[in-house]
Amino acid sequence: MTLCLVAPMARAQDREVQMPANEAGVSWGVMPAPLWLNVFETVFSLGKASFKNDTQAISAHYMRNLNKTFAVGGDVTFQHQWGASEGRNVQSATYVTVMPSARARWFNRKRVSVYSRLAVGACVCMPKGKEEENDVFFAFQASPVGVDFGSEKVRGFVEVGAGFQGFVLAGVKVGF
């Protein structure tokens, strides 16, 4: 009878994942929010403003696992966006975003886990090609679904969401 009670608990422990205390990673994202803002500007200006669809976001991430479910950390994201040319003057902008972030895992196994992540912070826009000053504004990333996979030390990940890191982002992280 004791074996009947202990056996299910032993199987559950085999599936438990011992997450490293810290994670650091890099990612690449497509369709970040500044691109969306330029699409809206183009539409609402009746085509007077234009953009090139070649903006991607490169991010560095750090997370501290508080327990098996929750983690907190921060993200730094870099983007460069090329715009329309007016004569010889090509308009472009560089965006640097800094955001604290939080993650909640809702499925966690040895080789794969599923989570949601939210980050909120500030973005500095540094335009080039025009005589404009730098601008600071609200930035966010809301990824309702993220999947990471691999070993305990090295994991790949993919997230789907919206914000300044992209609509879809993928990367690799290292646990230590």
Q: Is the pLDDT of residue 76 over 50?
A: yes
Residues 6+ apart with CB under 8 A from 12: none
Most confident of 72-76, 80-84, 94-98: 72-76
Distance CA 25, CA 172 (A): 6
Residue listed under structure tokens 């497509």: 30
Q: Is the pLDDT of residue 7 over 70?
A: no
The mean pLDDT value of the chain amounts to 81
Distance of CA 116 to the CA centre of its chain: 11
- Higher-pLDDT residue of 14 and 145 is 145
Region 144-148: what's the mean pLDDT? 97
β-bridge mates for residue 149, sequence order? 112, 156
Region 100-111: what's the mean pLDDT? 95
Q: Is the pLDDT of residue 40 over 80?
A: no
Residue 54: strand, helix, or coil: coil
Q: What is the CATH T-level fold of the domain 21-175, as seen in this structure?
A: Porin (2.40.160)
Instruction: Give residue limits of the domains in the chain.
Output: 21-175
Kindly report the pTM of this predicted structure. 0.77
Q: Is the pLDDT of residue 6 over 50?
A: no
Instruction: Assess contact for 80 and 35: CB atoms under 8 A.
Output: no
